[in-house]
Chains A and B, each alone.
Chain A
Amino acid sequence: MLETAFLQLLQAHTGILHKVCNLYCRNNTDRQDLLQEMMLQLWKAFPGYRGEAKPGTWMYRVVLNTAITHIRNEKKQAQVLPLPGNLILPEEDDSSQFNEQWKMLQMAIQRLTDIEKAMVVLYLEKKTYAEMEEILGVRQGALRVKMNRIKEKLRQNVHLYTH
């Protein structure tokens, strides 16, 4: 029963787990490690989930907490942006244009700090400021200011990559 519910939750949010792994890690080994770690932490936390927060909020908390405090192999991070084989990309990536765009997005976000990455993930997932406050523990007023700054940084990073 518990296992079935857990599998359903994981399968419903597989995409976001992969995306977060991509943004926080720059090599495939680290991505695989982080993905496994996220699943493990979700599994450990799952029996204690009593529905105080929405399942999505609860899941984002565990996933982002795990990503931010995960041990990454710094040495291997020298290889910037190799796109992983089995983990990541979309099916319709026959168009190299999409592939290129995805790389650019990934590159632009990877230049941000770990906290900024978390905010961008929530922003791109269209979370409201109230939900972001619940997940990050930062007041909405401060979040708005930070988000404006991060969007500007992101624009600059995209500009850097496209020009």
Chain B
Amino acid sequence: MELDELEKIWKQPGHHSLLQPDIEQALRHRARNEVSRMRGNLLSELWVALVSVVLVSVFYFTVLNGRLWEIGWIYILLLLVFLVYYFAKSRLLKGMLSSTGSVRQHLETQLKKLDTYTRWYMLTGTLLVPLLMTCFYFLLQYKNIPLQLQGVSVGSDSFAALYFACTAVLSAGSYFFNKWNVDVRYGKYIKRLKLLLAELDEP
């Protein structure tokens, strides 16, 4: 069979009809593409952050008769930063939704924005632990909280060394966790976009 015949088969009319109720139903359904899934993930992250910060802040406002109230405020400040981060990422994802450009433009835009998105994810996710830990360290010093780590009290050099060693370990853990998380959530799609673009570019 030759390609001309395939064209004839392709051109055969069919009973393809779309009734208005079918269209209305389709327009009500939730978008099911990678970007919509990512937006869903981002919204879940926002909820997790909101609930966690509220709980942790309440804990610090009440524990030790409220002596650690500053930590509660640090968490609330952190939530505000997270909100800015959320809206920036949400805008980035929204920009990926446009599908009116050529196939190449669409894929390139998605890849570029997703690359920026995952960089932000890695950067903020990795910096969060050391920043918070350093902040807490100076707060512990300032408030003179009688905390002990392995029998070493706050204020001593040994405590500082131990504390920052723990911070380094946690930061490294957070880096690898974020790397893994980014790969699980977005890696497959990034790989697919790269493959599609490479196919468009190949001679």
**B-binding residues in A (CB < 8 A):** 7, 10-11, 14-15, 17-19, 33, 35-37, 39-41, 43-45, 48-49, 58, 61-62, 64-66, 68-71, 88-92, 98, 101-102, 104-105, 108, 113-115, 118, 124-126, 134-138, 142, 145, 151, 154-155, 158, 162
Contact = CB atoms under 8 A, between A and B. Distances in A.
A14 B18 contact: yes
Given A124-B6, A155-B3, A39 B200 contact: no
B13 interface: yes
Nearest to B12: A90
Interface stretch (B31-39, B68-76, B145-153): B31-39
Contacts, number: 138
Contacts of A134: 102
Contacts of B18: 10-11, 14, 17, 39
B33 A66 contact: yes
B13 A40 contact: no
Interface of B: 1-3, 5-7, 9-18, 20, 23, 25-27, 29, 31-35, 37, 97-107, 110, 196, 199-200, 203
Given A11-B18, A39-B23, A162 B103 contact: no
A68 B37 contact: no
Q: Is the interface of B mostly helix, strand, loop or mixed?
A: helix
Contacts of B14: 15, 18, 88-91
B40 to A, nearest CB: 12
Contacts of B15: 89-91
A80 B12 CA distance: 23
